[in-house]
Structure 1
Amino acid sequence: MNAQPSEGPHLAEPDVPTACPAQHAGATTRLYATETTSDPYGTYSRLRKQYGPVAPVLLEGDVPAWLVLGYRENRRVLDNPGQFSRDSRRWRDWKEGRIAENSPLIPMLGWRPDCLSQDGEPHQRLRRAVTDSMETVTNRGIRRHVVHVADQQIDAFADTGRADLVLQYSEYLPMLVLTRLFGLPETEGESLVTSCAGMMRGGEDAIAHNDRIGRVLAELTAHKRAEPGPDFATGLIQHPAGLDDDEVQNHLRLVLIAAHTTTSNLLARVLQSILGNESRLGELISGEMTTTAVVEEMMWNSPPLAVLPGRFANADCELGGQRLRTGDLLILGLAAGNLDPEVRPHTGTAVNGNQAHLAFSSGPHQCPGQALGQAIIETAVEVLIQRLPGLSLTADPDQLTDTASTWETRLDHLPVTFPA
């Protein structure tokens, strides 16, 4: 784990017991438990019926949190950093020593010197460095990088006539594109995919996976200080905001994990939607439907990050009928909010052109990599369909399985055949 800054709260030793605040004493839903992750959408629905738009839940280690289920309540939290901070140094359970140093929640919730962990002017300074550097590398031709990687991936199975588009395409393609944009060796791609997955999954290996990502990016930062290049890492290093090595490394980590995890998940869902409906594939090939429209629909119905960590109450307040105390942890139910019956009573309603979904978060911390992720997905889908005419799903669409964690639900397999 990265060392915490001296001005921040110190983490407790691992043997310090977790204690739930009084208002969470009755919380019994463990978001990390198998019975919960096996049916996350069912869990969201049950919690909504029991508690309303904000529900008490327990995270790994039985750490208490409020899960925000309502669309309007999610918007209120995301759009009001003065009331709900992203700075986890305000987290009461952390400040009072109830979070173990080796908690698997630390990679997702711990404070770091990046723009995501701060509000106000410090956030603006660091975010500007990220958005400027990202725009520079994207403008240099993101499409050619995606086409190159997509062709490489497809070449590996094109002669066989069959493939698993999760394990052989969507799971690795975004990371291989990102390694090129970051200035990393392509050989790092596979192990970084494994570490990102392990960190998101949680459990006892989460810290080790997070530390490995940190070591790779620390080495990259040192290398690019000595040998600059036309890449994202060099852009951060040379930005007028004057980021130090720790800030550069942590922003590389932030963008790498967020961009890969969400883009690979969403790419798999888009391919599932297209191949699970023959008429949709035909409409896409004929130009009657665009990949952009399919991506938009998936961001409403199956956002790549189902639950977003986290926000912290700056003062005692009321939200969705619940009384929150200063320093309470909130986690944002993006998937639940998108399906909130208060704003979307009919989930089958067409959402074409409606970009009010929560998939990219909202407010000052809204995802800065939307254009990058969408460019990767749309190009990857286009190359795949052009290279493999006659692509056909070999499984019953209703029999495809998912694996869920607290934070996301990922498609396990997408088996297809095509003329070799």
Structure 2
Amino acid sequence: MNDQPSNGPDAPRGCPVAHGGASDTTRLYGPEAALDPQGIYARLRKEYGAVAPILLEGDIPAWLVLGYRENRRVLDNARQFSRDARIWRDWKDGRIEATSPLIQMLGWRPDCVSQDGEPHRRLRGAVTDNLQTVAGRGIRRHITHFANKQIDAFADEGTADLVADYAEYLPMLVLTRLFGLPAGEGHSLAVSCAQVIKGGEDAVVHNGRIMEILGELAERKKEEPGADFTTGLLGHDADLDDDEVLSHLRLVLITAHTTTSNLLARVLQLVLTDTSRLAGLVSGQLNVSAVVEEVMWNTPPLAVLPGRFATVDLELGGHHIKEGDLLVLGLTAGNLDPEIRPDAGVSVQGNQSHLAFSGGAHECPGQNIGQAIIETAVDVLLHRLPGLRLAVSADELTSTASTWEARLDRLPVEFAAQATTV
């Protein structure tokens, strides 16, 4: 880490990365970040305050926004903090390789998250309209069907890993139905989506696989339209071109699956490590939405949100941010900001002002679908598997983090073996 400048810690500071300090700047990737992201956030907050210089894969400089208020300012102010990566200075100056795994998360595409203003409103309208439509077509029936199919695969064994056997693939199976894809594509698509978020050398290859499958889907739906999200995008009044349709299929598939699978695993973890919550859910005295809300505050499915780009020189959190700088949003760090949550153990029930769904014009449009998947998945699981309990001690549960998320590694459980459904 660089030393504080001689004019004091409260004075605005420039990015050490931009002044030759890259070798001493914290990397938000690699072995340390994978094992202890919370420790990194705490250390950065102590040294730099609400905004800190960091390095992303390939030692690409960025600012990590750690403060809750600072995150809100960035999310709510598209004029100063754009989602349009075409103004990213390191990209414009040729420092980002086209094959960089960062491009999968940060690069410009003809989708609504890469746009601001009227272009964003046009494209987002097509997405939200069609998400609302498919959500109203018996989505809980589809979720129940796939949840039971997943449980059938292990119900008679009396043991399971609820990450690998349930949470990891269930959301994708539901999405295949909503998109008009064969359910058989679900496993490979789930693996590829996870790899795109994880990053590394394979991210580009897996993104290519996703695009190939979705491209074939879009072409098929032109000839064989159905009551699905893909057909809805193709026929929407916003008149999306082929690239826009494909980019939005990719966006919704990757985002919806990875965030919902991660959130489902975390909700199950919280339920199974607290017998009072488990008993409350089984008895009906507690609803799943209250548990989801707590997880959204403490372990949101995306720990770090990509990304925003400064449109002008400005000051944020006591630091000089230059036009074209990249900012990534620390959703977990912001939710646990001691300035707004001096006691993180205090209940947040009924408080929905967390950062987990992003905010501003780009707030997640599919919240109701994710909520439906999680609520139904937990309900089906608890009622199918009497005596469900954690098979290891809570402190044996581990997570592995990438730049953007921290995923639960496994969730081994035991239960009374059951016959499969008919």
Normalised by the size of structure 2, how large is the TM-score? 0.94
Give the structure 1 partner of residue 416 of structure 2: 419
**% same residue:** 68
Alignment check: 8 A CA contact 1:27 1:57 kept? no
Give the structure 2 partner of residue 244 of structure 1: 241
How far, CA to CA, are the matches of 1:279 and 1:325 in structure 2? Answer: 50
Aligned-pair CA distance for 1:101: 1.3
How far, CA to CA, are the matches of 2:285 and 2:130 in structure 1? Answer: 35
Instruction: Indicate which of 251, 256, 266 corresponds to 1:254.
Output: 251
How far, CA to CA, are the matches of 2:173 and 2:325 in structure 1? Answer: 38
Matched, 1:272 2:293: no
Q: How is 1:128-207 mapped onto 2 (pairs within 5 angstroms)?
A: 128-207=125-204
Alignment check: 8 A CA contact 1:75 1:362 kept? yes
Alignment check: 8 A CA contact 2:112 2:124 kept? yes
Matched, 1:68 2:55: no
Instruction: Indicate which of 363, 367, 370 corresponds to 1:366.
Output: 363
Matched, 1:91 2:83: no
Question: What is the DSSP-based 3-state SS (H/G/I as helix, E as strand, rest coil) of the residue aligned with 1:55?
Answer: strand
Q: How is 1:8-407 mapped onto 2 (pairs within 5 angstroms)?
A: 21-22=18-19, 25=22, 28-407=25-404
Q: Which stretch of structure 1 is more off in the superposition, 282-291 or 245-254? A: 282-291
Structure 1 unaligned residues grouped into runs of 5+: 1-18
- Cα shift readout 1:99-146 (whole Å, capped 9, x = no counterpart): 011111000001000000000000000000000000000001110010
Question: What is the DSSP-based 3-state SS (H/G/I as helix, E as strand, rest coil) of the residue aligned with 2:124?
Answer: helix
Alignment check: 8 A CA contact 1:24 1:64 kept? no
One-letter amino acid matched to 2:140 = R
Alignment check: 8 A CA contact 2:17 2:25 kept? no
- Residues 124 and 23 of structure 1: is their aligned pair in 2 closer, same or farther, counting only changes over 3 Å? farther
One-letter amino acid matched to 1:323 = H
How far, CA to CA, are the matches of 1:53 and 1:34 in structure 2? Answer: 24
Aligned-pair CA distance for 1:35: 1.2
How far, CA to CA, are the matches of 2:292 and 2:350 in structure 1? Answer: 11
How far, CA to CA, are the matches of 1:211 and 1:280 in structure 2? Answer: 42
How far, CA to CA, are the matches of 1:405 and 1:297 in structure 2? Answer: 22
How far, CA to CA, are the matches of 1:111 and 1:155 in structure 2? Answer: 42
Alignment check: 8 A CA contact 2:142 2:174 kept? yes
How far, CA to CA, are the matches of 1:212 and 1:26 in structure 2? Answer: 35
One-letter amino acid matched to 2:334 = G
How far, CA to CA, are the matches of 1:24 and 1:139 in structure 2? Answer: 53
Superposed CA RMSD? 1.1
- How many residues align structurally? 402
- Cα shift readout 1:170-196 (whole Å, capped 9, x = no counterpart): 000000000000001111100011111
Structure 2 unaligned residues grouped into runs of 5+: 1-15, 418-422
Aligned-pair CA distance for 1:301: 0.4
How far, CA to CA, are the matches of 1:23 and 1:319 in structure 2? Answer: 21
Alignment check: 8 A CA contact 2:169 2:186 kept? yes
Alignment check: 8 A CA contact 1:175 1:193 kept? yes
Alignment check: 8 A CA contact 2:17 2:53 kept? no
How far, CA to CA, are the matches of 1:253 and 1:156 in structure 2? Answer: 29
How far, CA to CA, are the matches of 1:280 and 1:84 in structure 2? Answer: 40
Alignment check: 8 A CA contact 1:24 1:56 kept? no
Aligned-pair CA distance for 1:27: 5.0
Query: Which aligned runs of 4 or more in structure 1 are off by greater than 6 angstroms?
Result: none
- Cα shift readout 1:328-363 (whole Å, capped 9, x = no counterpart): 000000000000000011111101100000000000
- Cα shift readout 1:20-44 (whole Å, capped 9, x = no counterpart): 5338647521111211221001100
